[in-house]
Amino acid sequence: MRVYNTLHARKEDLVPLEEGKIKMYVCGPTVYNLIHIGNARPMIVFDTFRRYLEYKGYDVNYVSNFTDVDDKIIKKANEEGVSSEEIAKRYIEECKKDMAGMNIKPATTHPLATEEIGGMIKMIQDLIDKGYAYVAEDGTVYYRVHAFKDYGKLSHKNLDDLESGHRKEKEAIKVTGEETKESPFDFVLWKPKKEGEPYWESPWCKGRPGWHIECSVMSKHYLGEEIDIHAGGVDLIFPHHENEIAQSEAANGKPFAKYWMHNAFLNINGEKMAKSAGNFFTVRDIAEKYDLQVLRFFMLSAHYRSPLNFSDELMQAAKNGLDRILNTAANLDHIIANGGSRPADFTADEDQDFGQEFVEKFEAAMDDDCNTADAISAIFELVRAINTAVNDNSSIAFVKFVKERLTTLCDVLGIILEKKEESLDSEIEALIEERQAARKAKNFARADEIRDQLLAMDIVLEDTREGVKWHRK
C-alpha cells in the first residue's frame, strides 16, 4: 500500500512503526455550530481509509478530537448568554448525529481539549525548560519558532521568505500584539484570560491554551510520542500542522508523525464556500434533500487529493450512481428472500469465485493512495457483472455469494446497501394489486396501462420469478 506523504511530497510505501498496527490522528471540528460539508470531506475520506486499513487486517487506533475551547465557541456562548461548555456539548452531540448519518465510525477515542489541560501545561513547561518557549510580561507563553531548525519542513515554507513577506505586511498595517514577541512568527501556547472567558490556572497566568498545543497533547496522550499517520484538510498544513510538528518534536525529541495525509478543498459551484457568498451548506442542509449516504458517495467519487466541486447536478449524478448499486443489492435480497424454488447449492456452471477480478481492481485502487474514485469504478464493474450473471436459473448459494462480495467492498467505502424502507400510498398499492389481478386474468392490455400509469408517477415495476418488485425512478 502506498500513500502520498505531504512531508516529502511523494507517494511512499506505508510501513507502520509497529507491524500490524496503525496509530492515526485526524484533526476534528471546532464545535460552535452545525458542521458544514467542508468539514464532512476529511471525516468521510479518512474514515474510509481507516476502514480499508482494517479490511487489510491492521489494528487501527484512530483518534479524532473535538476542539471544545476556542474564540468562536466563546463568541457563540456570549451571543446566547450561556456557557462555552453548553455550546460545545450541544454541537458535539449534533456533530455525532451528522457523523452517524454519513456512516462514519466512532473514533477509538474522541478526546476533548478541555479534558487535556493538565497535559498541555506540562508540555508547555517542557518547551520552556528546553528553550523552545518563553513567557511574556502579561503571562502569554510563545513558541520560539527560530529555535526549531526544521520549521517549515511540512509546508515546505522558508522562514526567510516568510519574514520578507511579513516585513511588507507590517509596513502596510500595524500588527497588534507583535511587541510582546521575540519574532513575528512565534505563536501562542498559552494566553491570559479575558473578561467572560473560561480559564484554567497555570504557572504563568489564569488563561487557556492556544489551538496548536491541543492536538500535540491529545495525540501524545492517546497514541504516544510517535504516530504513523496524521491527517486533515489541506488548509491545516500551515500553520496548524507545521506548529504541531515544532511543538511535539521539540518536546519529545522524536519524529512526530511518519506520514501526513491531506484532503483537498471542496468548492461550491466552482467557488469557495462562504456564508457571504450565499453558498454555505451544513450537512443538515444536505440531509433535507438527500440521504447522507449520497453525500458520502459523492465525496468518494473523486480522489481525496483532488479539489471537489459540489453542485446539485453532481449530487444528483451521485444519487443515480448509488441507486444503481442499491437496486442491484435489493434485487439480490429479493431473490434470497423469495427464491425457495431455486437450487440451494452452486450449480455446475456457476463460478464459486465470481468477481475476484473486480475485488483485485478495488484493492489495487485503494492500495494506490486511497483512490476511492477507481475503487467505485471497480464496484460498478462488479454490479454490471452481477446483473448479467444472476438470472432465473441462479442458485441461492450463488446469489448469496455475490451479495456478500458486493457488501464487503461497499462496507470498506462505508456504503450501506440496505435501502431505507419506502412506503407507498394506498392509491399506488391499489394500482399494483389491480395490475396483478389483471395479469392473472390475462388482461395484459389493462396491466400495461397500469404499468404506464405508475411509471408516470415515478414508480417502476419489475416482474421477476419471485414476484413483482417496485422502486422509484
Q: What's the average model confidence in pLDDT over 122-142?
A: 98
Q: How far is CA 447 from CA 201, 355, 434, 451, in A?
A: 78, 37, 8, 6
- In which band, very low, low, confident or very high, does the pLDDT at 178 lie, cut at 50, 70 and 90? low
Mean residue pLDDT of the chain comes to 93
Q: What is the pLDDT of residue 279?
A: 86
Residues 6+ away with beta carbon under 8 Å from 288: none
Measure the CA–CA gap between 152 and 245, rounded to whole angstroms. 9
48 pLDDT higher than 80: yes
pLDDT confidence band for 468 (50 / 70 / 90): confident
Question: What gap in Å lies between CA 42 and CA 48, rounded to an integer?
Answer: 10
Cα 405 to Cα 379: distance, rounded to the nearest angstrom: 10
Is 231 within 8 Å of 42 (Cβ atoms)?
Answer: yes
Each residue of 151-182: b (16+ CB within 10 Å) or e?
A: bbebbeeeeeebeeebeeeeeeeeeeeeeebe
Cell numbers found for residue 388: 448479467
Question: For residues 253 and 245, what is the distance between their CA atoms, to the nearest angstrom?
Answer: 11
300 vs 431: CA distance, rounded Å:
39
Mode of pairing for the β-strands spanning 187-192 and 207-209: antiparallel
- Asked if the model's pLDDT at residue 39 lies above 90, the reply is yes
Cα diameter, the chain: 94
At residue 54, what is the residue type? E
pLDDT of residue 172: 40
**Alpha-carbon distance 114 to 85, whole Å?**
9
Q: Which residue has the higher pLDDT, 171 or 345?
A: 345
Predicted local distance difference test score (pLDDT) of residue 428: 83
What pLDDT, in 10s, does the model give residues 219-269?
999 999 999 999 999 999 999 999 999 999 999 999 999 999 999 999 998
Question: What's the pTM?
Answer: 0.88
3-state secondary structure of 471: strand
pLDDT at 176: 46
Nearest CA-CA partner of 349 in 311, 397, 290, 284: 397
Reported as a single tens digit per residue, the pLDDT across 367-391 is 999 999 999 999 999 999 999 999 9
Q: At what angle do helices 292-300 and 372-389 cross, to 10 degrees?
A: 110
Going by pLDDT thresholds of 50, 70 and 90, the confidence category of residue 175 is: very low
Asked whether the beta carbons of 183 and 166 are under 8 A apart, the reply is: no
Residue 328 to residue 472: CA distance in whole angstroms: 14
Cα dihedral 144, 147, 153, 158 sign: positive
pLDDT given for residue 357 in this prediction: 98
Write the DSSP assignment of 170-225 as a string of letters.
HHHS--TTGGG-SSTT-EEEEEE--TT---B--SS-SEEE-HHHHHHHHHHHHH-S
pLDDT reported for residue 340: 84
**Among 2-16, 53-67, 251-265, 339-353, which stretch is predicted with the lowest mean pLDDT?**
339-353
Give me the pLDDT at residue 447, please. Answer: 85
What percent of the chain stands above pLDDT 70? 95
For residue 465, name the pLDDT band (cuts at 50, 70, 90). low
**pLDDT mean over 298-304:** 98
pLDDT tier at 169, thresholds 50, 70, 90: very low
Residue 165 pLDDT > 60, yes or no? no
Classify residue 345 as exposed, middle or buried by CB count within 10 Å of its CB (0-12, 13-18, 19+). exposed
Neighbours of 473 (CB within 10 A): 9
Per-residue model confidence (pLDDT) at position 470 = 76
Higher pLDDT, 28 or 454: 28
pLDDT tens digits, residue range 182-221? Answer: 999 999 999 999 998 999 999 999 999 999 999 999 999 9
Q: Which pLDDT does position 423 carry in this prediction?
A: 57
pLDDT tens digits for range 405-453: 999 999 999 999 987 655 567 788 888 888 888 888 889 888 888 888 8
Per-residue pLDDT at 464: 72
Given a cut of 90, whether residue 161 has pLDDT beyond it is no
Give the model's pLDDT for residue 420: 63
Residue with cell 511530497: 9
DSSP 404-442: HHHHHHHHHHT---SPPP----HHHHHHHHHHHHHHHTT
